[in-house]
Structure 1
Amino acid sequence: MKIRIISSREEINSIRSNERAVHLAFRASNVDFLNLIQKAPRLQMVQVPTSYMKTMSNAIEVFLDMQGIELLQGDVWGHRKDLDEYFTIEDETIEEIKSLAASGTNMDDVTNRIQQKTRLNPDLIKFISKNKIIA
């Protein structure tokens, strides 16, 4: 699974229309979210840092929910945007999350186990476990 890292408003115009997951590494306004949705109509998930989540308007949260887009909080640890514009989650990690969730393991246990091996945040692990992400 690849998450497109967007680090400025200007980058919204350069994303592909088939992007499904993005991480906003800047404090996005409501207009930025609207532009993002117009540019990437297949979007399923937007991740923002926890500190930005606290200052977001409720209106954009409701709007994203109405569009069927999940809003997650978290960071992409250790990613260097100058080397790659995508943060990649390994197929093995996705398969492990899916198999643990399918086996009936408690979601908190799944999250704890995966976090010990990777630096993925809990919201992202839960998103992967409940959505049809193909590894």
Structure 2
Amino acid sequence: MSETRATTPVFPPGRYGRRREGGRRRSLPLIVAAVLFGIAALGLAWAYYQKFGQTNYSPEIIGWNEPADTAMVIKFRVRVPEGEAASCVLRARDFQGYELGTRTITVPAPDGGGEVVVSETVPTTARAAVGDVMSCRPAG
């Protein structure tokens, strides 16, 4: 019995084309494409953040109460830039989350701009349980 030990396969010359040598692969185009994709994704995220992410009109609920079955008083704080006004949409809901009333109000900026505390009444169709500030945007 004879045993042949070959460390590398032997192929007939010219039959299978040129053999690649083991070692470094050409992954540079893949790395460049991944880096360019990452830069594009970060640029897109930054653009959307600048457009939609941070707003100068940022409302914060302070509280609410129900003085009657047909009204809710919503108290909130909103930051308004100097020389501008905010248009805020208020909403009153019941325990199940159904909308019972909405109201849009205009909040003028204080001298020098900054935060304004506002307390407004929202008319409702039934006794409300929760008050929301849906949004605040530039008035006009």
The question of a shared fold, defined as TM-score above 0.5 by the shorter chain, is answered with no
TM-score by structure 1 length?
Answer: 0.18
TM-score by structure 2 length?
Answer: 0.18
Whichever structure has more strand as a proportion of its residues is: 2
Whichever structure has more helix as a proportion of its residues is: 1
| Greater gyration radius | 2
